[in-house]
Amino acid sequence: MTRTEKAERIRAQLDELYPTVPIPLDHVDPFTLLCAVMLSAQTTDKKVNEVTPALFGLAQTPEEMAKVPVGTILAAIRTLGLAPTKAKNLQALSADIVRLHGGAVPVDEAALEALPGVGHKTASVVRAQAFGIPAFPVDTHIHRLAARWGLSAGKSVVHTERDLKRVFPEESWNKLHLQIIYFGREYCPARGHDLSACPICSWAASKARIRAEAGAAGRSARPAKGLGQARGKGAASGRRP
């Protein structure tokens, strides 16, 4: 089976499992989506959705957010990872949007990536989900699954993104990247996963990959020898402690 044939079968299976895919981060417009996506770095979507009501209660536009003191923003998002840096970036990107883009979130990829705290993945998510521009944002879930399914041997998310864009039709990218994320969370965890029982890994992953991950799971589940066990072994062999 070629990569393209495998990709077609995977897409059909994901369409059956997830015919509709809601955007997991709560937002009302491109600016609030941009803020939520930026806040989601090294943090779960659930955590972000818990803090954004208070944050957007302070400000819902770039003009308003740029005027909120960094300390006040930090107090609203303190429970998130990297909160101090994110608070500074939120205020700074808001000021840049007002100063450089007339208060509107830019659509251009380079312009988005030039904003404080906005990397390639965040820019791709905003372009796909706020503006409907075909993009394939690759996060850790997608990077892991693409490797398991033999769709990419990429050592980086940039390489994986390039490989996935080659095998999936452009019109499917915006929906598909969300479908893969949902599948990864529900069926295909990073650790302790039995690939042979997975709805997709069971047929898409190579036999070598299935064996390798089964072996890794077995080693991680094996209890470590404690001090008492080590001493017991020495006593049994006749050696003195």
Does the annotation count 6 as an active-site position?
no
Q: Which of 121, 163, 207, 225 is catalytic?
A: 121
The alpha carbon dihedral of 148, 149, 150, 152 has a sign of: negative
How many CB atoms sit inside 10 A of residue 222's CB?
A: 8
Query: Which residue intervals of 40-187 are DSSP H helices?
Result: 45-58, 62-67, 70-77, 83-101, 109-113, 120-131, 140-148, 157-167, 173-187
- Residue 110 CA to residue 220 CA, distance in Å, equals 43
| Residues 43/81, Cβ–Cβ less than 8 Å | yes
Q: Helix 83-101 and helix 70-77: axis angle, to 10°?
A: 130
Q: How many helices (H) and strands (E) does the chain have?
A: 14, 0
Does the annotation count 45 as an active-site position?
no
Q: Which of 6, 88, 139, 165 is catalytic?
A: 139
| Residues 167/24, Cβ–Cβ less than 8 Å | no
The alpha carbon dihedral of 97, 102, 104, 106 has a sign of: negative
- Residue 226 CA to residue 140 CA, distance in Å, equals 34
| Residues 82/111, Cβ–Cβ less than 8 Å | no
HSE-CB of 102 using CA atoms within 13 angstroms: 2
Catalytic residue numbers read 121, 139
